[in-house]
């Protein structure tokens, strides 16, 4: 059973989601506001946060920023249909995935289980875990699931770590966005490339990558991304 913090101001949506998630086997703590959600975060100790962006008072984006300031807890944001700008901002702020309201219970349950799997496990090529890899000043330890760059630890959210591990497992191979959606987010359908692009942007920022000429995660225009290992 996973512990889900549900932050949603609409009472009908909140109660409907709470009941649906309980039927799926989750333990749910509901919160009406961002402020209440942050209090529940400290007392309930959830495994995942489901967060509405349009909240009264403190916005969902601000809640997401505060959680990300000292935690890599998985976050799924909920948005209204067509709020594309909010989706991009939420993903760039640090959310791991998003769903569009009204969301079906089975879809939300599947997204929750997927982000929890990403938080618990990491890919290892061929079923084995190699020793720490050195790529220039970037060191990736697949066994310990740690990353350092220039001797400084890089704290990554689960999606960011899985993305880096997936790309770096095959240096110079070009991955399409759809391939990365399937490998990292488990979206087997034609998914939303914004998940990939926002995660790449966050990952580059945390690794101190020059925005115009990144050293490690390179864009292959019209195709996707590849990992370059400096010699």
Tokens of 117: 């799997």
Instruction: Tell me the pLDDT tens digit for each residue of 18-30.
Output: 999 999 999 999 9
pTM of the model as a whole: 0.81
CA max distance for the chain: 57
Instruction: Tell me the pLDDT tens digit for each residue of 199-229.
Output: 999 999 999 998 788 999 999 998 999 999 9
Nearest partner of 186 among 101, 96, 124, judged by Cα: 96
Q: How many residues does the chain have?
A: 231
**Positions in the chain whose pLDDT score sits under 70:** 81-82, 121-131, 188-191, 231
Between CA 202 and CA 160 the distance in angstroms is 8
Strand 3-7, strand 27-31: pairing: parallel
Q: In whole numbers, what is the pLDDT of the chain averaged over residues?
A: 89
Taking the alpha carbons at both ends of the chain, their separation in whole angstroms is: 46
Residue-level pLDDT at 81: 64
Between CA 135 and CA 17 the distance in angstroms is 44
Domains of the chain from N-terminus onward: 3-120 (3.40.50.2300), 125-227 (1.10.10.10)
Between CA 60 and CA 175 the distance in angstroms is 32
Strand partners, 148: 139, 153
Q: Give just the sign of the alpha carbon dihedral 46, 97, 154, 36.
A: negative
């Amino acid at each position: 059973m996973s512990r889900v913090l549900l932050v949603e101001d609409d009472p009908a949506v909140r109660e409907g989601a709470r009941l649906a998630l309980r039927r799926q086997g989750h333990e749910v703590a509901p919160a009406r506001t961002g402020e209440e959600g942050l209090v529940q975060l400290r007392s309930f100790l959830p495994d995942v946060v489901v967060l509405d962006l349009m909240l009264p008072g403190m916005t969902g984006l601000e809640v997401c920023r505060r959680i990300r300031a000292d935690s890599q807890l998985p976050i799924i944001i909920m948005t209204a249909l067509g709020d594309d700008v909010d989706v991009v901002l939420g993903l760039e702020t640090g959310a791991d995935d998003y769903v569009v309201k009204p969301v079906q219970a089975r879809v939300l349950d599947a997204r929750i289980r997927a982000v929890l799997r990403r938080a618990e496990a990491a890919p290892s090529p061929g079923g084995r875990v190699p020793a720490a890899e050195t790529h220039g000043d970037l060191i990736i330890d697949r066994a310990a699931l740690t990353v350092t760059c220039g001797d400084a630890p890089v704290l990554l959210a689960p999606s960011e770590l899985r993305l880096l591990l997936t790309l770096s497992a095959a240096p110079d191979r070009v991955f399409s966005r759809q391939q990365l959606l399937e490998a990292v987010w488990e979206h087997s359908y034609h998914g939303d490339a914004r998940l990939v692009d926002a995660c790449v942007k966050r990952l580059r920022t945390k690794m101190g990558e020059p925005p115009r000429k990144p050293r490690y995660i390179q864009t292959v225009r019209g195709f996707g991304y590849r990992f370059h290992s400096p010699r």
